[in-house]
Chain A
Amino acid sequence: MNLTSRQALPYWLILVAGSLAPFVFSDYSNELAVLWLMIVFASTWDILGGQMGYNSLGNIVFFGAGMYICAVVQIGLFYDVGMYTAGSRTTHIVFSEAQYFSGFALGLVAAGIGAAVLAIAAGWIVFGLRGPYFAIGTLGLAVAAAELTASWDWVGAASGISMPVFPGPPQTQKLFFYFLLFTLGFSLLVFLRWLYSTSFGLALNAIRDDEEKAEAMGLHTRRYKRTAWAISAFFLGIAGALFGNMTGFIEPRDIAFPTTTFNLFMVVMVLLGGKGTLWGPVIGAVIFHTLKEVTWTYFLGWQFVALGLLIVVTIVYFQQGVVGWLMEKNPQLFAPRGAPGREPEGALAPQPEGAE
């Protein structure tokens, strides 16, 4: 990408806005951090759900797996994990600054790689399924992951793990996690921009439009599907590791593998913003997260009713999403490059009437 081109402008804006936001709205830095988490959720879900046409209801597995892998690495480097989880209620265990940061850094790497490996293994099994069966199959993975973790004593079972405490004042801690999540989200957006401009993006779209045709043309469909899921999982794993440390306490059902909240939010945000587009998931995440925080603040007690309503309305009446709706209303805005960077540039001058 040319750093001074018009297409790079949104990235510069996001970079500036994202860097200033926690200082301008310092009371909301935690909410802003979660907003970046939501953007990661939506954009990673869209790799399969939007670009490849595989609706996964199990992506939360990689989020939770990353969270637990990171925790185990952070603790296991310096203590016995089983004893730590068993004794954490009675004894307070302190990590030195060096221990905290080295463990955390190593944990993040392990979380990303571990989640990606898990995705390849899971893909071996569930990519035999298509359509609604894939959705149900992956949902099964998510439920199983939560239940298995909840009965695994070594990692604290259902009572979870108290994470090592951040060695610094609360304000520093907030900024620390905000900027980590912001960096993750921003790099994901830049990465996806690149990914969708390579033949990988085309292959995912081909699988979405007609997988049998893609097979008949000799495309390595399985390889593409597994790699796509592994990429999703890598970013989700790191996101899980960050979020686990940010909240300070992790447990399986509501924080690591929440099938009915985060797991569903991913899908709703993408549908709301417009699936299969680069910016749709981002827009969806911003709208959704804002609405969620507003209902939480002003309609407490009704927040899940409002969210449920939003989900139903989006899925029944507004499946094309904001970006999809814009494409329908103003196709010239997206012409001639329906998908930026896809068409060969230079050799062939795009035609103005080539609108979607």
Chain B
Amino acid sequence: MSEAIIALDKVTKSYGGVVANRAVSLTVPRGSITGLIGPNGSGKTTLFNSIVGYHPIDSGSIRFEGREISQLRVQEIARLGLLRTFQTTRIYGKMNCMQNMLISVPHRREALRDMFAREDGAVAEKAAHLLAFVGLYEKRFLRSGSLSFGQQKLLEFAMALMNEPAVLLLDEPTAGINPTLINGLLDRLKRANSEFGITLFIIEHNMRVIMNTASKIYCMAHGEMLAEGEPGEIQRDQRVIDAYLGAH
């Protein structure tokens, strides 16, 4: 395995008296597809939120490309190239797909005059290309809010790719999508990883999906890291099976 692009060390986050994450440590290797599983309420989304700076953590350290980011704000982290998608899909509903894409360009080096830039052909071409990549090219001038839920997920994914992140955190990318679309999405996730070189860190409940995509999987339960390993190991791990069947 290559070096870690994300490294968490003993991250703890509690809401009032409820400890959502207790001393969670993990690493996401650069260029990998890493999975995060666990029963509902085990603290996966809280962990994602901590990583992207959505809320301050109580203790521990979060490093991205070797740099401590636990004190940074959401936008600053996003501009570093660490991006997340939402469990409940979030897009700009009243704008059309193309506009959604055009405003999703990276804002890393944006200067004041870039605020007033006209879209140039290259950006539009890239947006169209990525929309074609997720299969939404035909719908590019439709109001994005009028798309089906599954299509909105694909659009959100395309917007994330438009932003050229180094790492993409995906919160349940296949939830609510019909089985046919899932295969397509799966294929695109893999291609985003192999063709665009984006490191993926995925929360997923669909075992078939995560076992077939991720090279390394972490399993959480009750806010703690329960197990880690390759898909095969995780599937055989008795603790993981117990956590899912409620033996705890």
Contacts and interface: CB of A to CB of B under 8 A. Distances in A.
Interface in A195-216: 195, 197-200, 202-203, 205-206, 208-210, 212-216
Contacts, number: 119
B119 A218 contact: no
Given A197-B118, A216-B52, A227-B115, A206 B141 contact: no
Interface stretch (B6-14, B26-34, B89-97, B172-180): B89-97
Interface residues of B, number: 43
A169 interface: no
B78 A195 contact: no
B215 to A, nearest CB: 26
A217 B141 contact: no
A20 B96 CA distance: 40
B142 interface: yes
A167 interface: no
Contacts of A354: 96, 140-142
Contact of A216 (B84, B96, B99, B114): B84
A300 interface: no
Nearest to B107: A218
A215 B115 contact: no
Of the candidates A197, A276, A336, A338, the one having the most CB atoms from chain B within 10 angstroms of its own CB is A338
A218 B141 contact: no
B116 A198 contact: yes
B96 A347 contact: no
Contact of A203 (B78, B115, B118): B115
Contacts of B104: 217
B83 interface: yes
Most buried by A among B115, B121, B141: B141
A342 interface: yes
Interface in A316-337: 336
Contact of B103 (A219, A336, A338, A339): A219
Interface in B76-102: 78-79, 83-84, 86, 90-96, 98-99, 102
Nearest to B118: A198
A255 B208 CA distance: 69
A10 interface: no
Nearest to B119: A344
Contacts of B103: 199, 202-203, 205-206, 214, 217, 219
Interface of A: 195, 197-200, 202-203, 205-206, 208-210, 212-221, 223-224, 227, 276, 336, 338-339, 342-344, 346-348, 350-351, 354, 356
21 contacts: A199-B103, A199-B119, A202-B95, A205-B103, A208-B94, A209-B95, A213-B90, A216-B83, A216-B90, A217-B104, A217-B107, A218-B75, A218-B108, A220-B75, A220-B107, A220-B115, A343-B98, A343-B99, A344-B102, A347-B125, A351-B141
Interface of B: 52, 74-75, 78-79, 83-84, 86, 90-96, 98-99, 102-108, 110, 112, 114-119, 121, 123-125, 128, 140-143, 159, 163
